[in-house]
Structure 1
Amino acid sequence: MALKLVSSTDLTRAQIESLFGRADEIANGALPNLDQTGVGLALFNIAFPLPINAQEILRDAGAQITPIESADKINAASAQVILFSSPQTDIARQLSGNVSASFLNAGDGMHENPVRALMDAYAIRTLKGELGQQLIAILGNLKFSAEAHSLARVLGMFGGRISFVSPAALSMPYDLTDEVRLTAYEVEETNDLATTLRKTDTLYLSNIDSSRVEKKIYDKQKDFYKLTPDIFREAKEGLAILGEWDGAEEILATTRPQVERAGRAMLLALVESAR
């Protein structure tokens, strides 16, 4: 049966745990079963690419890659799996219903990005252990970030403690926060980064960027958080940091190799499960 992964909630916790287990095997040297698997790449959201080179990774694993030039050609593509992204918000559900192939949403505008969320959740698990046994803070643009929306839903499934850290104008949508509270052990909402860092195990950065945040809000909020060494001076020992943030390349460099390895393993596990 084809997998239609448009939202993180299209998978159960058990299915995600199964993907984690398979990603562990691939990360430890197991070969993915993707030989001759047809994968259509319809990655149109150039401003927000995946953190890894999906085409190269899948081709090296033996998949047959078909680039798809536009959304109206997805249905005609001869592929078992479609890997999709678009700058258009909330378009993935409609398109996924028009194809018989499995459909993996790697970001539809400001709606969701479950492919990236699975990569990030697996990276957090790789860096810091079980998701339900740590405090994970998501910082920055929570209102308009597809990646933050999907990651919050995944983390909520694992019953952990989550802190949403943002200025009020960029806070997580209320309905999504209420949804996550149904399964998470604890959900905190705050704008106080310094205090949050003293108790946080993993910090996920959701960039405040001008392409997703309207200009009036962006101009006021772009410098609300300055990620300087001073802000991390009293952070909890062993804090892991990942995600995306303009000007934070040096901060993110520490975990980047592990994050990329985790992303590769999860992508292969996900496409293998969807074929």
Structure 2
Amino acid sequence: MNCTQCPVSCGADRTLSKGYCGVSGVKLAKYYLHPFEEPPISFKNGSGCVFFCGCSLKCVFCQNYEVSRAVRGKDFTVKQLAEVFKRLEDMGADNINLVNPTHYVAHIAEAMSIYKPSVPVVYNTHGYEKVPTLEIADTFTDIYLPDLKFIDKTLSKRYTGREDYAEYALPAIKFMAKKPLDMRGDGKMLSGCIVRHLILPLAAYDSVEIVKFVSTLPEGVYFSLMSQYTPFGDIKDFKELQRPITRREYNKVLAAVEEYGLKNVFLQDESSSGKDYIPNWDF
């Protein structure tokens, strides 16, 4: 099968060779109970994160650079992937969190046919998605956790090489936002959509446009504003990315959140910036 799961649609036969994403079969960097997601996701026991290697977007500032470039990782069969889901559930995971799953949707769907977790399944994505791929993912997904990175084409072209990011991400997030909200009284999310956004240095103006877009989504959609940007990845040629965001940049985006009337909002503490929040890749 020639792979067309992501918008790049490279057409690689991933049973024989690597695609644009940098991987062929299933390759994982780590799986564990992660305590640092949004409160309804990490909840009490932690989110059962499965970190998939490779990436179809390849942001230069990637906070998980070694993983997205598939430098680290271990090969798994589809059956072993299903066993990972079961193992995390047995460890007490409040959900199964598929981190960067876009280029693995076919593999994940097959693994879910072997073992479907009884806890919610989270689709944790960079947002660069094709709706037909999401329609397949929707068969096993309870919670969508997209990271809306850019609206400005200049930014997406500069930092990912993909000028069409917003052309795919905005319709994709509108699709994900249709997932009905089911939030338990104790604060655990069973179903729904949380749209994330990471503020970048010198890009607060684009963050404001993203806040404006999120304000048009259905009322039950949550917004998670992240201030954790840490200079990381391949940024030697991008001077503007070689510092954390400033208080002034953060406040500008906060003002937009208030201006556009967003109600269901998670705000990240500024102390969340730093490499301490990046997992150790031990595979």
TM-based fold match above 0.5? no
Normalization by structure 2: what TM-score? Answer: 0.32
Structure with the higher fraction of residues in helix conformation = 1
Normalization by structure 1: what TM-score? Answer: 0.33
- Using CA pairs under 8 Å that are at least 6 residues apart, name the structure with larger relative contact order, 1 or 2: 1
